[in-house]
Amino acid sequence: MEDGDTLDLRVAPVRRTIRGRQYLMYGYNDQYPGPLIRAPRGSTVLVQVRNEIPQGTTVHWHGVRLDNRFDGVPGLTQPPIEPGETFTYEVQVP
């Protein structure tokens, strides 16, 4: 990604087989784990998250310092993204 780019993430159920057993889990863009996001230092990227699971959700960004309103702790730093809703995170790459 480059400065100013937008990544669209769709949170939805995915099926994965692990050690011969099939599991239903939540993933991003049909992936589990979700995609690796790379961007140059100092850039700002937008991550638009659409919730297609039957409950509220957020994205918590481990290892990235963000404005508190984008930290992804539901009920504390932001309301959950409800089913069918979209939320845009602004990620400034340190």
Please, what are the domains in the chain?
Answer: 6-92 (2.60.40.420)
pTM score over 0.75: yes
d(CA 92, CA 4): 10
Token look-up 């790459």 returns 93
Q: What is the pLDDT of residue 35?
A: 92
Strand order in the sheet with 21-28: 21-28, 6-18, 44-51, 86-92
pLDDT digits (tens, 9 = 90+) for 36-94: 999 999 999 999 999 999 999 999 887 787 888 888 888 888 999 999 999 999 999 88
Read off the pLDDT of each residue in 22-30 and give the average, rounded to a whole number.
Answer: 96
